[in-house]
Amino acid sequence: MKTVAIIAPGAMGAAVAGVLTSHKLEVLTLLDNRSPRSVERARQAGMIAVNLDELMRAEAILSIVPPANAMALAESLAPTLKNSRVKPLYVDCNAISEQRVKQVNEAIVATGAAFVDGAIIGLPPAAADDSGPCFWFAGSRAAELRALERAGLRVKVMQEAQVGAASALKMSYAGINKGITLLSALMLINASRVGAADALWQEMNASQPVLMDRLRKAIPDMYSKAWRWAPEMEEIASLNQGELPGENLYMALADFCRQLADNQRDNGDYTQLLTDFLQRKE
Q: How many CB atoms lie within 10 A of CB 163?
A: 21
Domain boundaries, the chain: 3-161, 168-278
Q: 143: how many CB neighbours lie within 10 A of its CB?
A: 13
Nearest to 255 by CA among 240, 234, 271, 235: 234
pTM: 0.91
Average pLDDT on 249-264 reads 96
pLDDT digits (tens, 9 = 90+) for 167-205: 999 999 999 999 999 999 999 999 999 999 999 999 999
Dihedral in degrees, nearest 10, Cα atoms 88, 95, 73, 79: 50
Q: Which of 254, 253, 224, 235 is nearest to 92 (CA)?
A: 235
Amino acid of residue 69: N
* Per-residue model confidence (pLDDT) at position 239: 82
Report the top-level CATH class of 3-161.
alpha beta
Mean pLDDT, the chain, integer: 95
**Which pLDDT score is estimated for 227?**
93
Instruction: List, for residues 63-72, the tens digit of each pLDDT value.
Output: 999 999 999 9
Q: How many whole angstroms separate alpha carbon 38 and alpha carbon 44? A: 10
Residue 197: what pLDDT?
A: 97
Q: What are phi and psi of 154, to 5 degrees?
A: -90, 120
Distance CA 27, CA 61 (A): 10
Query: pLDDT (tens digit, 9 = 90+) per residue, 95-149?
Result: 999 999 999 999 999 999 999 999 999 999 987 666 689 999 999 999 999 999 9
b/e sequence 222-256, b meaning 16+ C-beta within 10 Å: bbebbebbbbbbbbbbbbbeeeeebbebbbebbeb
Non-local CB neighbours of 113 within 8 Å, separated by 6+ positions: 81, 87, 88, 89, 90
Average pLDDT over residues 164-169: 97
How far is it between the farthest Cα atoms of the chain?
A: 67
Please list, in sequence order, all residues whose beta carbon lies within 8 angstroms of the beta carbon of residue 193, skipping any fewer than 6 positions away. 273
Identify which of 13, 18, 16, 44 has the alpha carbon closest to the alpha carbon of residue 30. 13
Cα gap 104→221, rounded to integer Å: 30
Provide the H-helix boundaries in the chain: 11-22, 36-45, 52-55, 70-83, 98-109, 165-193, 197-207, 209-222, 226-239, 246-265, 270-278
C-alpha closest to that of 93 among 53, 59, 133: 133
Amino acid at 122: G
pLDDT 10s digits, 205-237: 999 999 999 999 999 999 999 999 999 999 999
